[in-house]
Amino acid sequence: MNERSRPSVLIVGAHSDIGRALARVYASAGRDLFLAARRPERLDRDAADLRLRQGVAVTVTAFDILDIAAHAALLEGISPLPETVISVVGFMGQQEESERQPAAAQLVLRSNFEAPSLLLGSVADLMAARGSGTIIGISSVAGERGRATNYVYGSAKAGFTSFLSGLRNRLAKRGVRVITAKPGFVATRMTEGMTLPAGLTAQPEEVAAAVLKAERRRRDVIYVRPVWRLIMLMIRLIPEPIFKKLRL
């Protein structure tokens, strides 16, 4: 087993806008990086830049989280397991398409809930055996109440949030921290073309900085912009007879 002199982080979904921002923020904090993405060649330039500018080690790995059989190989190929593992995998899809096509809904559900949960469950076992580590899942405020405009995506994120909560409870006495991050609206390729309110929309760098801050402060659940905590509380408190008449 090769020991590393610096703490490291594994970012799964590293080619996403938030994933790339996380890589920059963690590299600037002196963390060595393991970047896992379906198309790792798209990260070559980023990796070279981070090595040069930050002086950290960067390893880029091909990984499709939907290939459940590949999960074990990914974790076995990184030795020792990084101190921090972040899943930033997400796929919103189109609500109308998910309603009409079961395969489209399945892709949204698997991408946001099933596959990330199974991967982080395996990570949890390894960290529990070691007695240390931090697991971070990027979930969404969309999971706090099912809404007609995105209930397939929202239900997947609700499942992921619940999974992370249970994992946190399970590992609380095992030396492993589990953090749930809820960004709200983020200006990324996934939301490109959508009309988003400026005051509620974070940039990927803002999300990444909030995640690192949460890890350092040993937080459990964070809303990247605190106003979302109040907004979602209000939405959850709307009585069901009234809620059914709304289009949120």
**pLDDT 10s digits, 79-134:** 899 999 999 999 999 999 999 999 999 999 999 999 999 999 999 999 999 999 99
* Domains in the chain with CATH codes: 8-243 (3.40.50.720)
Q: Say what the pLDDT of residue 194 is.
A: 74
pTM for this predicted structure:
0.94
From the candidates 26, 151, 153, 223, which is the catalytic residue?
153
Q: Say what the pLDDT of residue 4 is.
A: 62
Contacting residues for 145 by C-beta, under 8 A, at least 6 apart: 154, 232, 235, 236, 243
Contacting residues for 198 by C-beta, under 8 A, at least 6 apart: none
pLDDT category of residue 2 using cuts at 50, 70 and 90: very low
Question: Nearest Cα to 1, choosing from 124, 121, 130?
Answer: 130
153: annotated active-site residue? yes
**3-class SS of residue 44:** helix
Contact 43, 14 (CB under 8 A): yes
**pLDDT 10s digits, 216-233:** 999 999 999 999 999 999
Question: Nearest Cα to 58, choosing from 32, 87, 37?
Answer: 32
- ω before 226 within 30° of 0 (cis)? no
